[in-house]
Amino acid sequence: MIITCPNCNKQFKIDNSLIPDEGRDLQCGSCNHIWFYNIQEKDNEALKLKQEIISEDIETKAENKKDNIEEKQQPEEIIKTEINNKKKEKNSEKQKNTTTLKKTENKGSKFFSYLIVFIISFVALIILLDTLKTPLINVFPGLEIVLFNLFETLQDIKLFIIDLI
């Protein structure tokens, strides 16, 4: 027997012998809803077919259906053209959106390109200063304290980043 949960409409196959004639509580395995289920007896009488069908009645119904089909075909063509127009509008909107997205992506990628160039240039300058530290101190004696403080600051930043990771 197939039982349907009244809450979520999920269907379950349950053996008839598990439900007594007086009924029992059931719980849905999907939504955990609990309800009382009682087997309802169905009429066992056989359906009787009435033999009083008139052929004329069938023919008139068939003609009415043909007329309805012809009437419905005209609005269908109008609806199809409207749908096609809407699809064209949506496609043009999508193309506009993609062009604006490409423009914003170009601005974002341009910013990151400049940022990467700046970082690489800064690292190259630090390496150059470290390499030429001794000749620069001989030419500019006051530069020794500035370079020492710069390298200490960079060392602190390096330790900070390592601690974050």
What value does the mean pLDDT take over residues 61-66?
63
Percent of the chain whose predicted confidence (pLDDT) is above 70? 67
When comparing pLDDT for 56 and 38, which is higher?
38
Same domain, 102 and 147: no
137 and 143 Cβ atoms separated by less than 8 Å: yes
Helix axes 55-131, 143-164, angle to 10 degrees: 150
In this predicted structure, what is the pLDDT of residue 124? Answer: 92
Domain count, the chain: 3
**Residue 78: what residue type?**
I
Asked if residue 19 belongs to a domain, the reply is: yes
From 162, 164, 144, 143, select the one nearest 154 (Cα to Cα). 162
Instruction: Tell me if 1 sits within 8 A of 14, measured CB to CB.
Output: yes
Tell me, yes or no, whether 65 lies in a domain: yes
Could you tell me what percent of the chain has a pLDDT over 90? 12
Range of the domain at 144: 132-165
Q: Burial level of 87, CB count in 10 A (0-12/13-18/19+)?
A: exposed
Residue 116 sits in the same domain as residue 83? yes
Per-residue pLDDT tens over the stretch 81-134: 777 777 777 777 766 666 555 555 566 778 888 999 999 999 899 889 889 988
Residue 105 lies in a domain: yes
